[in-house]
Chain A
Amino acid sequence: MTLLKAEELYGGYGGGDILNGVSLRVDAGEVVVIVGPNGAGKSTAMKALFGLVNVRSGRVTFRDEEITRLSPDRIVGRGVCYVPQEANVFPSLTVLENLEMGAFIRRDDYSAQIERVFELFPPLKEKRSQAAGTLSGGQRQMVAIGRALMLDPKVLLLDEPTAGLSPKFIDLIFERIQEINATGVSILMVEQNARHALSLADRGYVLVLGANRYEDTGPNLLANREVAEMFLGG
């Protein structure tokens, strides 16, 4: 079953188009990875799914209902949560408060969900009362992902979750993403660690100049010589 779908999106930030007909799809239970060169519009495509970009034409649907121009608080309400590439925590808020903000629209008792996030990322439990801005890059990324998990989303959008992390943390974050996926959360992520990410992916897209260049299963993209030479560094 297809959960989230973008069809031929064109648009950008008010100037020229950054997206030139990109189409994406995330089915239930999948891990989908987007790779591509810097400035290809990967982040912009993610933002477009979340209603943060002026989409001039094309449409975004979630479970066949159009969400193209919905505000973010409506979109999170449907179960799509997003971790941006940069500035993805509230630095002066504590770890716990960051998680609470992720649950802002929930009016029920979400303490079980907080415990689940702490189980996934044990360091956060110790540092729950510490300001997120004082944490290491890896721990900040845990806070960012934890915040986005607070609504128990159906689809989690991750924009370069391992960027700037040490190899130890890269492996850990990828592991956790797989665990999250195993609990039934579909994942769409942009990744610079392309080989690693594609090796975990059910499907992948190669994005160039705001449009799909290649689209295939993870293993097939890894095996594709052209893709490997041009986008995966040989």
Chain B
Amino acid sequence: MIDFLQIVIYGIVLGSIIALGAIGVSLIFGILRFAHFAHGDLMTLGAYFALAGVAGMSLPMFAAFGLALGATALVAVGIDRALYSRLQQVSPIILLISSVGVALMLRSLIQMIWGPDNEIYQSGISMPWTFAGLRIQPTQVMIVGGAAGLMLLLHLFLQHTRFGKAMRAMSDNPDLARLSGINTQRVVILTWIIAGVLAAAAGIFLGMDTRLHPIMGWKLLLPVFAAAIFGGIGKPYGAVAGALVIGLAQEMSTLILPAAYKPAVAFALMVIILVWRPTGIFGGKVL
């Protein structure tokens, strides 16, 4: 039982990280109608920006993280302005392929700057807290709390602000959004800012949970897409639910399968959903 609960905790931590990525993928698909394959590497970039703050500029942890969120958002908007916004008129397939190119470029750049080795934010071992036999790391609490906080902020933004509602409106019906006088370009930029911030947070949390590595985000891309599809792509709330399911399923699979099969579990779930209910559990768009 304790073992099982321990695995549930790992699953929730992983699910929180996946959720931050999946929300971004889902929002981008809702607004721009394309699958953003560079999202994993955007997460990696965020993690390394934070490393640059902590290790390079010796900033306090939180300042470095904040800076990394902002810088990643800036890069995301920059890529959109320089590339995606120009290709938008062509076709969603071209956009998708160009995002694969962006993914490769980001990864190479990260490797060039920071090298191919594992990195960590802080050396030293933190003592886990124990509750009734369960071990919980302080970083795990921070990850789940941080992710929940960001999701709450996003929820408040989407439900209660003028541009948040406009974002949902545009995701519903882009033509009608334009007809209503909504400045759709502003909404697009806002979407990239949010997706960039959340991706960076996901990358930083992943780096805290494990280690930093130039392909850390790329490896998370599959579960992130699985979560977004599971929840119904274009539905950010579904993405959160999907992420928890994928995170828990991946961790629980270690009870019966070797840990190396974790990505296969996400992949299998994604295939099952695509075959059984291509619009996801919450009835999103078809990829």
- Contacts from A to B (Cβ < 8 Å): 50, 52, 71-73, 76-77, 82, 84, 87-93, 97, 100-102, 104-105, 147, 151
Contacts and interface: CB of A to CB of B under 8 A. Distances in A.
Contacts of A105: 181
A72 B178 contact: yes
A105 B186 CA distance: 13
Contact of B166 (A52, A71, A101): A101
A104 B162 CA distance: 8
A149 B278 CA distance: 37
Contact of B182 (A82, A92, A104, A151): A104
A87 B181 contact: no
B172 A104 contact: no
A128 to B, nearest CB: 14
Contact of A101 (B171, B175, B180): B180
Main secondary structure of the interface of B (DSSP, over half): helix
Contacts of A101: 165-166, 169, 177, 180, 182
Interface of B: 162, 165-166, 168-169, 171-173, 175-183
Nearest to A50: B179
Contacts of A52: 175, 179
A89 B169 CA distance: 9
B176 A92 contact: no
Q: Which of B173, B178, B179 has the most CB of A within 10 A?
A: B179
A88 B173 CA distance: 9
Contacts of B162: 100, 104
B179 A72 contact: yes
Given A93-B169, A97-B169, A104 B181 contact: yes
9 contacts: A76-B179, A77-B181, A84-B176, A87-B173, A92-B171, A93-B169, A101-B166, A101-B169, A104-B162
B272 to A, nearest CB: 25
Contacts of A72: 178-179, 181
B89 to A, nearest CB: 11
A73 B181 contact: yes
A76 B178 CA distance: 10
B183 A73 contact: yes
B243 to A, nearest CB: 20
Contacts of A71: 178
Query: Which of B166, B171, B173, B177 is most buried by chain A, counting CB atoms within 10 A of its CB?
Result: B173
Nearest to A82: B179
B200 to A, nearest CB: 28
